[in-house]
Structure 1
Amino acid sequence: MCGICGAIWSNESRSISEEHLLQMTDTLSHRGPDARGLHWEQNSNLGVGLGHRRLSIIDLATGQQPMWNEDHSVCVVFNGEIYNYRELQKELRTKGHQFRTDSDTEVLVHLYEDYGREMVHHLRGMFAFAIWDRNHSSLLLARDRFGQKPLIYRQDENRLLFASEMKAILQIPGIPREVDPVALDLFLTWQYVPAPWSMLKGFQKILPGHTAVWQENRLDIQQYWTPTSIRGSDSANEQTRRDTRNLSYAQTQEKLKETLTEAVRLRLRSDVPLGAFLSGGIDSTLITGLMQRELDRPVETFSIGFDIAHFDERSFARMAAKSLGTNHHEKIVSPSAVDSLPELVWHYEEPYADSSAIPTMALCEFTREAVKVALTGDGGDELFIGYDRYRAAGLGDRIDRLPGPLRSILKSSLWQKMPASLKQKSFSRRLKRFLTTAGLSPEQRYMTWISYFDAARRKDIYSSGFREKLTGFQSEDWMSDLYELTAQNDFVSRTAAVDQISYLPNDILTKVDIASMAYGLECRSPFLDHQVADLATSMPLNYKLKGRYGKQILRDTFADLIPEPILQRSKMGFGVPVDHWFRNELKPLLHDVLLSERAMSRGYFEPAKIQRLVEEHTTGLCDHSKHLWAMLVLEVWCRMFIDASEVSTKRPLSDGVF
């Protein structure tokens, strides 16, 4: 796991200096604290610079980058892990390729020699890499299938800049920093800025499952992989779907056990100590259990807890650890929002409003004290129908098929007046939200449930000038378009498919990548092996969702690894008490920062509307915690990435931001 950056240019006036390449590279030092490598060359008008910061995991002695092929015509900088690299080494040696290292990186240059940009089809792993081809004067960029590793670029006249993080690109002099109104609207709607957008105009993200080739001042972007759940998936995916349909439930269980076990086994390849996150949920417990079966020593497992019982899962994590026989580590954390927020915003480098990033960073910091690699259960909810909202989507779908009179009662506007608890996840609040959206289409209903600021609320708080800048853009259209791509027939499966290409890469995987890389920790998720994912999304819905339980086939297949109380427990979110913070320790910050003249003068919002949100929350009238958190993150980001004369190469202190 590493940080990569670089540039290619076709006019010497657009070149970047070796000094600035070094500055770009060292901005990523937290991603790769073990080593640094650079390559810079200028030939006539064509030049290229490649930078690499290394987190040494495999082949500690000889895996330095940038790495070349035998005749120095192909060079790679790589972030990630290729889990099937040993099998690829063996295959490439039979074709005459010579290896100077035992690293997974070296297979990339040799695969490129044989297959060009089609090399990505041979990879099982998580990756973002850049390959410089001297003979063809081209640069290949590639990102893994699910987007576990980030890759950001900026294409200017006669030049392409790229990096694992936008901060690195911003070290180049003269790069403008202007907010993209569309990206801001997307952020306030979904709590993240989805690929390919970026919060800054002129920056874009390579989409998951895509490659891009820069040659002769042209960037050619192509999609190489599509999940089985999405229309247009490749022939291999279609074959998986057909094969799975022909299997009985018992046969599907055996196939799942075989495929997921292999995915775990591949992810145990490491030359440094590794462990696992263990929350006490189904996903992390079964991944840890499969991991324990493969090792001849107790797995090092890690969890964090909180003094507030509603946010504390340690008892379940202990139960799982005792049952599986792991060497368990736990820690109580009391994250301070005032201290955490500037560091969080700097690392995430775009407004990111999922407050669970705070405990995730705490968990990664704690885990890194003992190991360098941790396996996770990420992806299990999206692939195996684990979220409560999927069951709600199924219930809504059934209501839509009721006789007209019954539908009219359930879709009545009278439910708007139903009293409900202020707590975001209370039953009464969820019930009211469900009933008040019953009259919407299934897609609109789901989007309303998961959005932060819905269309009406955004329209209410935006200034007239900012609304004009959006020129009619609606963030909901992005997700509506994703629904049109889904291949499934039932609405629940279609919704999970949308989450796999929206929420999973842009929220969950972004959160884990940034939090882990902040402390030089590599996280690996066996569920996101594309063979596991293809199998999961090819299964009938009733294999995954049965009664009040999602993940049914995981519960049945791996019941011997999961203690009964964990099998029966409800899903618990990984969060922090933001609502409490805003009525206590963060209350002054809301007034001093969010309601400051500096914030209100940006022209995005109507000041009186923001004042009302703050007052309604702090007086206990309404729970606006998620809205206020998003807006506070946005304001701190603006101060750090827009107002500052330059973007810092080091994580900031809070007193320099507020």
Structure 2
Amino acid sequence: MCGIAGILEFGRDARADSDALREMCRIMAHRGPDDEGFYFDGHLGIGMRRLSIVDLTTGHQPISNENGSIWIVFNGEIYNHLSLREQLIARGHAYRTHSDTETIVHLYEEYGRDCVKHLRGMFAFAIWDKNKKVLFIARDRLGIKPLYYQLSGERFLFGSEIKVVLAHANVPTQFNGGVLPEFLAFGYLSGDDTFYNGIRKLLPGHTLELTPEGETEIRQYWNLDASLAHDSLDEQSYVRSYRELLEGAVESHLMSDVPVGVFLSGGVDSSAVAALMTKIRREPVETFSVGYGEHAYSELPFARTVANHLKSVHHEIVVSEQDFFKALPLLIWHEDEPIVWPSSVSLYFVARLARERVTVVLTGEGSDETLAGYTRYAFTPLCIHAQECSLRSRVP
């Protein structure tokens, strides 16, 4: 996890405030404890805090292209960067590092705003094009990496967290009460609004382009197309295909120059990831689990069963009632909004445990979304069918 931030001042003689940008980066030092970097060019300033994962020695950011006309700050990982690197070198691009960050720079040189269509990974990045005087910002297809911004008549600010934007002295802290009903109903905000007036999030699968004159263009570059026709296959074909895709995803996420572990609950999702990780690495992996003092609500016995089966190097932490409630103020500060899911607290403690041993972890998150695991997915078509039947019964 890294953090990025930036300032683009409007007006002919405006200059980015270096002290303000450094403060914005300081407030998110927890996202990147290993390194920091800044770049300034008149109206613009970009900065970042780095957690070193790939190319530990030469991956310092911001990174530029060969002639220094394009600069980037980047949070995330690009899993296909090695294959992209080969293609870009064949096209004449010269690399100075081994990082995935530099690949995005050369992709932008080659394809401009369409560079995002070539990326496989999780990302939020900002590119300053000196020649065109354009700030280009992008977020990954599913919004795994966050990006918030504030656009006013005087300047544009962005950061990996809301508090980063609020760290600028000229940003007022005003509660956006209009979003409260949606948040209380669903536990999240589906649009680009936040709890703070004037601060928005760049939506998943979107890019934003901005000039020093304040000209702004937000574009959607990806959306899941569920309308494509496909042939119906037998069950074994779907099982085989999903396993191949899952194994490929796990293998790609093992791209790292630092130790990697896995969060293990003992459920199907995390157990499958841990098993595939063990198979791919052909050695015991480090697993991390969290439980509660109340044994009826603790998953530790299930996690131990899987850990023993995989012969992993297993680690556990038990969260007490006092620990749980004591952590809430800090976690609300980190999330910049109320805590919706109690699992966020557990995740904090197991992540803190894992950080003592590894830098990167894999998890079982996302499988319920891809396999319709939540009850609401089963209820939705039933509700739609019931509504259609009700409407038909009312038509004379």
TM-score in same-fold range (> 0.5): yes
The residue that corresponds to 2:79 in the other structure is 83
Q: Which ranges in structure 2 are unaligned for 5 or more consecutive residues?
A: none
Contact 1:141/1:212 (<8 A) preserved: yes
Question: For the residues of structure 1 that align with 2:390 and 2:65, how far apart are their CA atoms?
Answer: 68
- What is the Cα deviation at residue 127 of structure 1? 0.4
Structure 2 residue 196 is matched with structure 1 residue 210? no
Highest RCO, 1 vs 2 (Cα 8 Å, sep ≥ 6): 1
Structure 2 residue 185 is matched with structure 1 residue 189? yes
The residue that corresponds to 1:4 in the other structure is 4
Pair 96,261 (structure 1): closer, same or farther in 2 beyond 3 Å: same
Give the AA of the match of 2:347. Answer: T
Q: 1:378 aligns with which of 365, 370, 373?
A: 365
The residue that corresponds to 1:255 in the other structure is 241
TM superposition score normalised by structure 1: 0.57
Give the AA of the match of 2:309. Answer: S
Pair 217,396 (structure 1): closer, same or farther in 2 beyond 3 Å: closer
Contact 1:193/1:350 (<8 A) preserved: no
Pair 397,174 (structure 1): closer, same or farther in 2 beyond 3 Å: closer
Residues 575-617 of structure 1, C-alpha deviation per residue, up to 9 Å, x if partnerless?
A: xxxxxxxxxxxxxxxxxxxxxxxxxxxxxxxxxxxxxxxxxxx
Contact 1:14/1:159 (<8 A) preserved: no
Contact 1:300/1:327 (<8 A) preserved: yes
Question: For the residues of structure 2 that align with 1:227 and 1:351, how far apart are their CA atoms?
Answer: 29
- What is the Cα deviation at residue 341 of structure 1? 1.8
The residue that corresponds to 2:39 in the other structure is 39
Pair 397,219 (structure 1): closer, same or farther in 2 beyond 3 Å: closer
- What is the Cα deviation at residue 18 of structure 1? 0.8
Q: 1:118 aligns with which of 114, 120, 132?
A: 114
Contact 1:193/1:351 (<8 A) preserved: no
Q: 1:358 aligns with which of 312, 322, 345?
A: 345
Secondary structure of 2:6's partner?
A: strand
Secondary structure of 2:30's partner?
A: coil
Pair 401,170 (structure 1): closer, same or farther in 2 beyond 3 Å: closer
Aligned ranges for residues 494-643 of structure 1 at < 5 Å? none
- What is the Cα deviation at residue 246 of structure 1? 4.5
Structure 2 residue 85 is matched with structure 1 residue 99? no
Contact 1:193/1:199 (<8 A) preserved: no
User: How much identity, in percent, do the aligned residues show?
Assistant: 42
- What is the Cα deviation at residue 335 of structure 1? 4.8
Alignment RMSD, CA only? 2.1
Question: For the residues of structure 2 that align with 1:124 and 1:160, how far apart are their CA atoms?
Answer: 28
Contact 2:16/2:40 (<8 A) preserved: no
Pair 48,101 (structure 1): closer, same or farther in 2 beyond 3 Å: same
- What is the Cα deviation at residue 307 of structure 1? 1.3
Residues 433-486 of structure 1, C-alpha deviation per residue, up to 9 Å, x if partnerless?
A: xxxxxxxxxxxxxxxxxxxxxxxxxxxxxxxxxxxxxxxxxxxxxxxxxxxxxx
Give the AA of the match of 1:293. Answer: K
Pair 397,171 (structure 1): closer, same or farther in 2 beyond 3 Å: closer
Higher alpha-carbon deviation: 130-139 or 345-354: 345-354
Higher alpha-carbon deviation: 313-322 or 186-195: 186-195
Structure 2 residue 317 is matched with structure 1 residue 331? yes
Q: Determine which structure has the larger helix proportion and give its number.
A: 1
Structure 2 residue 220 is matched with structure 1 residue 223? yes
Q: Which structure has the larger Rg?
A: 1
Higher alpha-carbon deviation: 7-16 or 393-402: 393-402
Pair 12,401 (structure 1): closer, same or farther in 2 beyond 3 Å: closer
Give the AA of the match of 1:75. Answer: W
TM superposition score normalised by structure 2: 0.93
The residue that corresponds to 1:23 in the other structure is 23
The residue that corresponds to 1:469 in the other structure is none
Pair 160,307 (structure 1): closer, same or farther in 2 beyond 3 Å: same
The residue that corresponds to 1:573 in the other structure is none
Aligned ranges for residues 223-242 of structure 1 at < 5 Å? 223-229=220-226, 238=228, 242=230
Residues 361-401 of structure 1, C-alpha deviation per residue, up to 9 Å, x if partnerless?
A: 11111111111000111110011011233344466567668
Give the AA of the match of 1:272. Answer: V
Q: Determine which structure has the larger strand proportion and give its number.
A: 2
Contact 1:187/1:351 (<8 A) preserved: no
Question: For the residues of structure 2 that align with 1:395 and 1:258, how far apart are their CA atoms?
Answer: 31
Question: For the residues of structure 1 that align with 2:105 and 2:47, how far apart are their CA atoms?
Answer: 16
